[in-house]
Structure 1
């Protein structure tokens, strides 16, 4: 039986939450904020204190660690990844509050300011009754995205160190910056991570597993108008604002986020700033299916071309930027990576919940670098705001899950579960 140190996990989590590691999409620094560097170097020191080899990569801002395998078998390495940064929400002077033996009722975060987390608004809180609930004081976020993943991973590493009879192969860990801005894992150095596959530990509830994400592209459209006095405008004025509205009206009304769910993709107009002489529109294009994704991109290109064909000259320019690619296609080629998790979940009594994630993860970029990397969970909730929470028990379950995956990887050495995905 694996023993997980709950108090250690809680202590690490509370400590890491106090670091302001909020990222900044406007910054050109790597990492984007100095708080992430401070936390990364703290994690390196803590890994070394546990007995791991650990280092900080100055070029990309990753804190890295390595625990040698202790198995007599030849076992391939597994990697685990969590991110350092928090989202664009107040993160200075975070004051974590521990609510022991949570009663399942409304949680007063800040009595002076009347900030309450209501069960009526967040009914999933009732499932946490009896656990050690951790929240902020309501004036900042907590940082459970993704410091719950960090703390859970530290709990697993301590279990391996404290209980050397737990058989495992080589384990590599990476704590990366700027996940929230989508820039951190683009700089990930796969040469520092000699593993067969890895898992991110980002959001989600116990039993969740995400090995598919959207394919994603950002589109920027600039429109050149011609501004003249309206009294003299006949056949001279070209209104960029009107052309922007014409473009927006041509987009399909049923392929938008508010009309999409499950595996359905969308085209979303995220911003539009326009005047007579200039307009700028930003869109995001998303789909799980590659052909449907490409069709959406082509549709945007066609609308731009059709409007330009009606004008005296091409006035609309389109700039497309690929953001990430669905990792699912590559992971389906390696079903063992998913089946290993499902087998581990069953051993732990967890009900698997395989999700097609309607977004992207660091795993997309790491998978593109040759290391297939699905996402597990971190057991926190209400991410990206003042109502974030985590529980000590949830993070401890993540730690136990990591240990079980590593043990099962040893147990299946030579007899892997390679059943096609979708068959349990």
Structure 2
């Protein structure tokens, strides 16, 4: 970075965090909540103010913009991507971000609900951030660093590159997406309009992390059909779909195959929603593992549980529907090693040790990779995601901005 550059990433993040963009997993619309477009419109205005005159948002809420090339070399078009929505797991309304200057290493008590305490014991990364300026929410909501930190970092880097045309880089495309948190983030991306060869999502966690491997993911919906009879005359006739659904959940393993009992490269079967009445009940699951083969094994196991429990209730029927969500990006990125290698070099040039990691989850980059845009995931500083304990270091965000600046230069130099 040029000496004495005044980062805009913090003020941008604080502004974006206060806009409610919570996604709705039960919605049939796209985006799943219209309020996500409030941020889309603001970002377009700010991109145009920066000088990116082609910035636009479409009917789906996507934001597209171009940073023109400053070199005559043939350089692949690089996409920088982040998502605007926040998770449905925790309220994103009336977020009140708080900056804790020069963090002292102690537990952080959130003022609007003092029972919410971000402890160093539960969040050991905080111990590495002593002296940093830490942003948290106030205790009633999530913060939205996932992924508005990434949005703010891309915006700051865009401003810097426009202000410093002496930096040599190829054409850069910016993409901001809705609905990543409900697995639909790139469902309506216009890849032809995007026009990029390689990409990076800015949606990772701790400083220096570079993720080129994700879970593979499916969704499963189990539908149980029971038999409804007036309870006063139900003996030998009524079959409760609700009780069968409960039996299926009870039959799941207690010490393996769940998010709360797995780590590292272990996959899981996770019920995320249940709804029903006597006649019909539904259970939604997410299934996760690093290989498609393991994923299918978990689905076979869950199907057998359903069939076993349904068979105990004559007259009941069960349906098992699998919906593919995303696949491990490593399958694509291994064919394009320069994408990850260039990111590692950019992180090093920012003065950070690269940390190659796997994600126990996914990003827009998972699906983009299989849509023809190989797309690993770079750190943003966002931590304790989807919770009231979410936090981000301002210094980590600034280093992410630096990394983006170095990244586009690495691509130009190596082309």
TM-score with structure 2 setting the length: 0.88
Matched with 1:150 is: 151
1:348 Cα deviation (Å)? Answer: 3.0
Structure 2: distance between partners of 1:333 and 1:305 = 40
Segments of 5+ residues of structure 2 without an aligned counterpart are none
Correspondence 1:384-423 to 2 at 5 A:
384-413=386-415
Structure 2: distance between partners of 1:142 and 1:227 = 45
Structure 1: distance between partners of 2:363 and 2:236 = 50
Cα gap change, 1:388/1:281 in structure 2, threshold over 3 Å: closer, same or farther? closer
Q: How many residues align?
A: 413
For residue 379 of structure 2, give the secondary structure of its aligned residue in structure 1: coil
Matched with 2:96 is: 95
Q: Could you tell me whether the CA contact under 8 Å between 1:167 and 1:410 is conserved in 2? A: yes
Correspondence 1:7-18 to 2 at 5 A:
7-18=7-18
Cα gap change, 1:4/1:384 in structure 2, threshold over 3 Å: closer, same or farther? farther
Q: Deviations over 1:161-185 (max 9, x none)?
A: 2222211111011111122222232
CA RMSD of aligned residues (A): 2.9
Structure 1: distance between partners of 2:92 and 2:73 = 45
Matched with 1:72 is: 72
Structure 1: distance between partners of 2:140 and 2:311 = 53
Cα gap change, 1:96/1:341 in structure 2, threshold over 3 Å: closer, same or farther? same
Matched with 1:59 is: 59
1:157 Cα deviation (Å)? Answer: 1.4
Structure 1: distance between partners of 2:244 and 2:100 = 55
Matched with 1:165 is: 166
Matched with 1:184 is: 185
Comparing 122-131 and 156-165, the one that deviates more: 122-131
Matched with 2:131 is: 130
TM-score with structure 1 setting the length: 0.87
Q: Could you tell me whether the CA contact under 8 Å between 2:350 and 2:399 is conserved in 1? A: no
For residue 187 of structure 1, give the secondary structure of its aligned residue in structure 2: coil
1:26 Cα deviation (Å)? Answer: 3.4
Q: Could you tell me whether the CA contact under 8 Å between 1:4 and 1:400 is conserved in 2? A: no
Correspondence 1:17-416 to 2 at 5 A:
17-88=17-88, 89-110=90-111, 117-226=118-227, 236=237, 238-240=239-241, 243-244=244-245, 247-248=248-249, 251=252, 254-272=256-274, 277-305=279-307, 315-413=317-415
1:269 Cα deviation (Å)? Answer: 3.4
Q: Could you tell me whether the CA contact under 8 Å between 2:47 and 2:55 is conserved in 1? A: no
Larger radius of gyration: 1
Q: Could you tell me whether the CA contact under 8 Å between 2:241 and 2:316 is conserved in 1? A: no
For residue 319 of structure 2, give the secondary structure of its aligned residue in structure 1: strand
1:65 Cα deviation (Å)? Answer: 1.0
Q: Deviations over 1:9-35 (max 9, x none)?
A: 222222222222222233344323343
For residue 269 of structure 2, give the secondary structure of its aligned residue in structure 1: strand
Q: Could you tell me whether the CA contact under 8 Å between 1:64 and 1:174 is conserved in 2? A: yes
Q: Could you tell me whether the CA contact under 8 Å between 1:5 and 1:155 is conserved in 2? A: no
1:6 Cα deviation (Å)? Answer: 4.2
